[in-house]
A and B are shown apart, each in its own frame.
Chain A
Amino acid sequence: MICQLIGATKVYPMGDLTVVALRGIDVGVESGEFTAFAGPSGSGKSTALNLIGCLDRPTEGRVMVDGRDVATLTDGALGELRAKRIGFIFQSFNLIPVLTAAENVDLALRLAGVTENRAARVEKSLVDVGLKDLLHRRPAQLSGGQQQRVAIARALVKNPAIIIADEPTANLDSSNGEAILDLMREMNERDGVTFLFSTHDPMVMGRARRVVRLKDGAIVGEERRA
């Protein structure tokens, strides 16, 4: 088990009120999975991914990464854990605008503390996502699909235990979205990269080998496919 939520609850304060985004859910991700969190808007998909990705802490319950309870970790240690073990792909790509494609990918390696062989690894991962000719373009000079490929390369380059992708195709047209999913799936099948993503999109859900359904902050079902 790479990551696990145990009785995870997330409550957001909203002025005097509170919003319960997750109600004590239990879910885990094994190495090599290609899993989607599905559910209507507001069901808690993003919240769950944020907890698993250690971008936020639960109000109650536990988050385990590599068998360790992350509640015991300081913000700094949590950052290091993210840098080394967790890759992220965001809905809006989130590349650093002043850095080129290669520099964006290199940044992930640098923050993961990798000092050796960086240039070669950066180039390889950008070639793997089909961008071998666009290494030195800035994000503004790339299409949305290309930017998301850079983001995948950035997540991939450090060989993380898991790549978390919150609606990775939501800002792409359907053919680009499909291509991105194909790329992720290919990496999962060929190299055993673990992916955990969320989506509304039935097409995307169709590609997942395991779908966890959420509603109102609770898990309401789960399917596995071959």
Chain B
Amino acid sequence: MIFLIGLAARNLARNLRRTVITSVAVVAGVAIMVLGWGLVDGLDDNVLRAARTTYASEVILRPDGYPDDGMRYPLDEAALIPDSLRSELDKTGAWTARTVFPGRIVRGSESQHISVWAYDSATETQVFDRDGWKVTGAWPAPGKTEIALGSGLARLMELKVGDEVVIEGRTRDGAINALGYTVAGIVRVDNSSIDALGVWMEAATAQDLAQLNGVRTHIAVAPKGSVAAAKTELSGMGWTALTVSEECDDLIAMNRIRRKSIGTVVVMIMLIAATGIANTVIMATFERIREIGTLLALGMPRADVRALFLLEGGIMGLAAGILGAAIGGSAVLYWQRHGIDLSQQVDEVGANIAMSTMVYTHFSWLPLLLSLTFGVAIAVGASLWPATQASRIVPADAVKAD
């Protein structure tokens, strides 16, 4: 067997050009599979990370019936937090409540639709790690008419720290208010949907603007114990609880579709690769009929002749697979470390997706091993027919072939 492997390797090396050209498709297929997989896994992580670090923590509660699409924030649907829930929340762990409501920001003749994120700074920092956010300037000081702007919004409106703006809001009874604020800071929480259109202010400050009177739209909980248990305990008190992974279901389902389409592309590339390999092995058997005849004449078993050509296909698949996995794997590792920074693109098109602009690919061995196995299987499969044909030659005719 070792002898056959050596012989197969030498035959491949002898036709290096053809071997390389044939292998390119396998290299590409495997690399794309590994990279695509790492990217989609990374997107899953990204979606979860964006939700976890910017608005949901581990469990998010919204008033029953409140939309959870992350696009609309109707103040009508906001609700008070009942005392029963409050005490359950205290038992569960750290929590903070926010009220998100629509508004407009006005500066001179320009205005822009926004979402106001009213928070309670006392509890906010117990749930969210503000150090992980990028703040230029400062957070609004309690008691002052100050706001912080999402980084995308600041760029869009060309606003700087210290600028004066007017925010329009609508109270729950429909009265419109317009108040002046100073921009204290510009914040990037790294969740595009918040950074693009969000305006941050203390809940107490928002009272004047929207007459909140204690109603809230979101409660983010960081439970001490299990997330699932927290979710159960917090349910059924007028608010609907979702774990962060349930919260991200829709986006992760989209990633599943992405994964499927990558799979389709990979399968197509691999089919092209299979045709190429089959073609190359067929050519090799035709070119080497005399050699096959000689091996048979010298008494090599037919099974070994077949194995020789299977090995030639298989080694080609393995080498190409290893190369493809190495290329794809290194790319995944690199972007896992350094991340792909989409902030420029996202800010420019003003994309409004609940995900981070830093995409970190996710390295795992599974896609590497799977794609490698897939590559080798495709290569061996494609060599099966030509190798079998080659082993059936009548040696008397074959030794004289030219």
Number of A residues, CB within 8 Å of B:
29
Q: Please tell me if B396 contacts chain A, counting CB pairs below 8 Å.
A: yes
The stretch that binds B, out of A75-83, A121-129, A188-196, A200-208, is: A75-83
Q: How far is the CA of A95 from the CA of B10 in the complex (A)?
A: 15
A142 interface residue (CB < 8 Å to B):
no
**Complex: A84 Cα to B399 Cα, angstroms:** 18
**CA A107 to CA B295, docked complex, whole Å:** 9
Smallest beta-carbon distance B214→chain A, Å: 84
Q: Is A55 an interface residue (CB 8 A)?
A: yes
Interface size (B, Cβ < 8 Å)?
Answer: 25
Whether A110 touches B396, Cβ cut-off 8 Å, given contacts A79-B299, A94-B291, is no
Q: B252-279 CB contact bits vs A (8 Å, 1 = yes)?
A: 0000000000000000000000000000
**Are A55 and B302 closer than 8 Å at their CB atoms?**
no
A56 with B394: in contact, given A92-B290, A98-B7, A98-B14 (CB under 8 Å)? yes
> What are the residues of chain A within 8 A of B290 when measuring CB–CB?
92, 94
- Which residues of the partner chain B approach A80 to less than 8 Å between Cβ atoms? 299
Contact of B291 among A50, A82, A96 (CB under 8 A): A96
Instruction: Determine the distance from Cα of A88 to Cα of B50 in the docked complex, in whole angstroms.
Output: 74
Q: How far is the CB of B181 from chain A (nearest CB, A)?
A: 80
B291 near A84 with CB under 8 A, answer no
A156 is an interface residue with CB less than 8 A from chain B:
no
Contact across chains for B396 and A75 when beta carbons are under 8 A apart: no
Residues of B291-310 contacting chain A, CB below 8 A: 291, 293-302
* Shortest distance from the beta carbon of B171 to any chain A beta carbon, whole Å: 86
Chain A residues 12 to 32 lying within 8 A of chain B, measured CB to CB, are none
Q: Is the CB of B10 within 8 A of A107?
A: no
A55 touches B10 (CB 8 A): no
Q: Flag B1-37 by CB within 8 Å of A: 1 or 0 each.
A: 0010001001101100000000000000000000000
CA distance A56 to B10 in the complex (A): 30
In the complex, whether A11 has a CB less than 8 A from a CB of chain B is no
Q: How far apart are the CA atoms of A98 and B14 in the complex, in Å?
A: 7
Given A91-B400, A94-B399, A98-B11, answer yes or no on A111-B300 (Cβ-Cβ < 8 Å).
yes
* A55 engages B11 (CB within 8 Å): no
Interface residues of A in 94-133 (CB under 8 A from B): 94-99, 107-108, 110-112
Q: Which residues of B contact A (CB under 8 A)?
A: 3, 7, 10-11, 13-14, 290-291, 293-302, 394-397, 399-400, 402
In the A-B complex, list the 6 residue pairs whose CB atoms are closest, starting with the nearest: A83-B299, A56-B396, A98-B10, A55-B396, A50-B396, A94-B294
Chain A residues packing against B (C-beta within 8 Å): 46, 50, 53, 55-56, 75-76, 79-84, 88, 90-92, 94-99, 107-108, 110-112, 154
